[in-house]
Amino acid sequence: MRIKVCGMTDMDQVRQLDEIGIEFCGFIFYPKSPRYIFKHVPAIEVKKIRGKINKVGVFVNAYEEDILKTVDDCGLYLVQLHGDETPRECEKISSYVTTIKAFRLSESDNILWKIKDYQDAVDMFLFDTEGAGYGGTGKKFNWDVLKGLNIKKPFFLSGGIQPDDTDKLKMFAQDPVAKDLFSIDINSKFEITHGIKNMEKIKHFVSALKTE
């Protein structure tokens, strides 16, 4: 199972993630976020990151030209759109870079209806918990709302995933919907403070999740 660690602000920790085999790291380019990357490091430092890890830029209702400039300035491999972007806006971005559209879900949502207009507009989806604001809430996501669905596109599973959720995630991976499960997305439950991760918790999580 692939893993994305989001909300990174420390470049040394990003290098550590690469060393332990994490596939994706997320940098938040939303100025209102406490994990806003440019509060901590300039673009050139993000661009210097090398290795196998894939750099993902998280944006909220940003202008297309600003997103594409940031992709180039920071050497991003993927873009995650976490706001109210329309299918047309997403399509423009995805014609330039691999694009993930995030959906904040409640238990009453008709998920297939919610995602249908984006099927041809982006490369992947991400499912997170509905919250009052944008970006991750840290609240637990009820994965059961996805069970039995045919998403028809690779997706990231997010929403308050905790260090002790590995057995639940393995069970979720047995459901038919998980044929499209592309990656697990973790963030706040593995933090010491905003943007600084507890690397030991991440290592134990990776070990447990990837052990049969």
Mean pLDDT of 130-139: 56
Provide the pLDDT confidence category of residue 212 given band limits of 50, 70 and 90.
low
pLDDT at 28 over 90: yes
pLDDT at 131 over 90: no
Provide the pLDDT confidence category of residue 132 given band limits of 50, 70 and 90.
very low
Which residues make Cβ contacts (< 8 Å) with residue 15, sequence separation at least 6? Answer: 49, 51
Mean pLDDT of 194-202: 97
What pLDDT, on the 0 to 100 scale, is given for residue 134? 55
What pLDDT, on the 0 to 100 scale, is given for residue 138? 53
> Which of 200, 195, 160, 199 minimizes the C-alpha distance to 7?
195
- The backbone torsions φ and ψ at residue 181, rounded to the nearest 5 degrees and listed phi first, read -70, 115
Number of domains in the chain: 1
CB 45 within 8 A of CB 73: no
Provide the pLDDT confidence category of residue 211 given band limits of 50, 70 and 90.
confident
What pLDDT, on the 0 to 100 scale, is given for residue 133? 54
Tokens for 192, please give them: 């010491």
CA distance linking residue 115 with residue 113, whole number of Å: 6
Lowest mean pLDDT among 5-14, 62-71, 104-113: 104-113
- The backbone torsions φ and ψ at residue 158, rounded to the nearest 5 degrees and listed phi first, read -125, -170
Tokens for 79, please give them: 């873009």
Find the domain containing 9 and state its range.
2-209
Mean pLDDT of 106-110: 88
pLDDT at 137 over 80: no
* Number of Cβ within a 10 Å radius of residue 16: 15
CA distance linking residue 19 with residue 193, whole number of Å: 22
CB 30 within 8 A of CB 60: yes
What CATH number corresponds to the domain at position 57? 3.20.20.70
Residue type, 154: P
Query: What CA–CA distances, in Å, run from 205 to 79, 121, 184?
Result: 25, 33, 11
Tokens for 135, please give them: 């970006």
Predicted model pTM: 0.94
User: Which H, E and C letters describe 17-66, residue by residue?
Assistant: HHHCCCCEEEEECCCCCCCEHHHCCCHHHHHCCCCCCEEEEEECCCCHHH
Provide the pLDDT confidence category of residue 77 given band limits of 50, 70 and 90.
very high
List the Cα angle 50/123/93 in 5-degree steps: 75
Mean pLDDT of 98-122: 95
